[in-house]
Structure 1
Amino acid sequence: MSGPDRVAGRTALVTGAGNGLGRAIAHALSAAGARVILVGRTLGKLEAVAAELGGDSRVAACDTSQPAEVDELRAVLSDEDVSILVNNAGIAGPVRELVDVEPAEWDEVFAVNVRGVYLMCRAFLPAMIARGGGDVINVASVSGKRPLARRTPYTASKMAVLGLTITLAHEVGEHGVLVNCLSPGPVAGPRMARNFRLEAERTGVTSAEAERAFVSRAALPRMVTEEEVGAAAVAMLRMSGLTGADIDLSAGMIGR
């Protein structure tokens, strides 16, 4: 896929599109001229986002961690030329010391955050390869690249997504398919507010104090916004030579 605009006129599938980053990415892609397929577990949320987007957006309910549901999704969308796949679906998991994390909790985080990416790529890459081009963006996190106390399942899963992305880019590059990671964080919103509240309860400070301490680590002492993440996804798609890359969008939380 080449040319001055690598987004307009294409069909993009976004997972976890019912709220948060998935919703923001869907909005950004739609504004850039892509037709968006919204995928997630809760149909009502997807339909609400579709109403916001208008046009010919499409919704499909699917738990991307479940092989049978992903196979069904691929069959349902067999009439679509999905050339952009954004694997955004993910869960935060428990906020506890590793020794207090139950195996079932660990497995759930990896099922959604890693297996879901694998299953979606496995389902939709063959058509991209056959067409000779496509783009995959896997949403990871800066939390996969720095210590984050009491969040080992989440951070380990996001590091796994980075490894998957880099290797997959080399597997499919010869077919014209680009595979990249977008690593946001911290992103202002309900999830971070929850984290600050839990940290405040644990340490005896206020939520505002916990937030200030956290963002003070960044070059820009603030969190990024969902809209900035959406804009970054579109910008990545417009870079025709970008593959096997990991783009940090963290207000300078990570410096390398």
Structure 2
Amino acid sequence: MSQQNHFRLDGRVAVVTGGGQGIGEAICRRLASAGAKIAVFDLSEANAQRVAKELGGVAAIGNITQEADVIRCVAEIETALGPVDIVVNNAGITGKAAKTWELEASVMTTVLDVNVTGPFMLCKAVLPGMISRKFGRIINIASVAGKEGNPTMGPYSASKAAIIALTKSMAKEVVGIGDITVNAISPAVIHTPILDGLPQSTVDYMVSKIPMGRVGKPEEVASLVHFLASNEASFTTAQTYDISGGRSTY
């Protein structure tokens, strides 16, 4: 492969959940710039349509927690763009910030549905096709909270620990079947709208743990996703890559 073709994704079909804003939007733009055909899977029709239109992709409007929506969206994407090659499970919620004994059980259920069950169902829908074609890239967006646990964010921390474990499990199930890899990325605090729903004290605590002393940028996460989605990452699977400004080093 010539140097100018490094990390190219020409012809690849990439599905990005939560692709209508924040980290997801940055990932869509980065992968599109490398030649991928983009499907913006989002609950917000306005956001999904905006990003898809700008990138010449398609908008897939659906609720990641509803299996019927997931199956429908995958079918719509494959009809419009072709078989899915790349999946980025980025959609996620933090849930209510409070101590464990102050939380309703429904908070845990809701967070796990979005952050774990949703990615599981999307992977379930696309993996048979990847296996038959012997190619696929799955990148799950986790969090350093899934490694270290953030106080007042128990459900979120638990969900991100679960997605890291799910990543490793799925990777081992498909390892050696052609060129299919499954990896996770664990960001620290990234400057996105999701921070708006958290108490400032919680945000300040998370930033205080980052040796670089700043929040990350969505584009920085997108660049790491790009590598893991590329052909160059063919010997990399079942891994969790930190992008945390030095906070997490294991």
SS in 2 for 1:82: coil
Name the CA distance, whole Å, in 2 between partners of 1:51 and 1:185: 30
Cα–Cα, structure 1 residues 48 and 77, in superposed 2: closer, same or farther, change >3 Å?
closer
More deviation, 164-173/64-73: 64-73
Q: Does the 8 Å CA contact 1:109/1:154 hold for their aligned counterparts?
A: yes
Q: CA deviation at 1:73?
A: 1.7
Written as runs of structure 1 = structure 2, the 5 A alignment for 1:10-21 is: 10-21=12-23
Structure 1 position 237 matched with structure 2 position 240: no
How many residue pairs match? The answer is 241
Cα offset for 1:193? 4.7
Q: Given the alignment, which residue of 26, 30, 41 partners 1:28? A: 30
In structure 2, distance between residues paired with 1:49 and 1:70:
19
User: Is 1:189 matched with 2:192?
Assistant: yes
CA deviations over 1:45-91 (Å, ceiling 9, x no partner): 101112332x3x11110111111111222332343211001111111
Q: CA RMSD in A?
A: 1.7
Structure 2, unmatched stretches of 5+, are: none
TM-score by length of 1: 0.89
User: For the structure 1 residues 6 and 130, does the alpha-carbon distance in structure 2 shift closer, same or farther, using more than 3 Å as the test?
Assistant: farther
Structure 1 runs of 4+ aligned residues shifted over 6 Å read: none
Matches within 5 A, 1:75-90: 75-79=75-79, 80-90=82-92
What is the aligned partner in structure 1 of residue 94 from structure 2?
92
Contact 1:139–1:182 (CA<8 Å) still a contact in 2?
A: yes
Identity %: 34
Structure 1: runs of 5+ lacking an equivalent: 201-209
- Alignment counterpart, residue 226 of structure 1, candidates 196, 218, 227: 218
**Among candidates 131, 134, 158, match of residue 132 of structure 1:** 134
Instruction: Report the AA paired with residue 71 of structure 1.
Output: I
Residue 217 of structure 1: CA displacement?
A: 2.3
Q: What SS is found at the alignment partner of 2:123?
A: helix
For the residue of structure 1 that corresponds to 2:124, the secondary structure is helix
2:56 paired with 1:64? no
Deviation (angstroms), 1:220: 1.1
TM-score (norm 2): 0.91
CA contact 1:6–1:237 (8 Å) conserved in 2 = no
1:247 aligned partner, one-letter code: Y
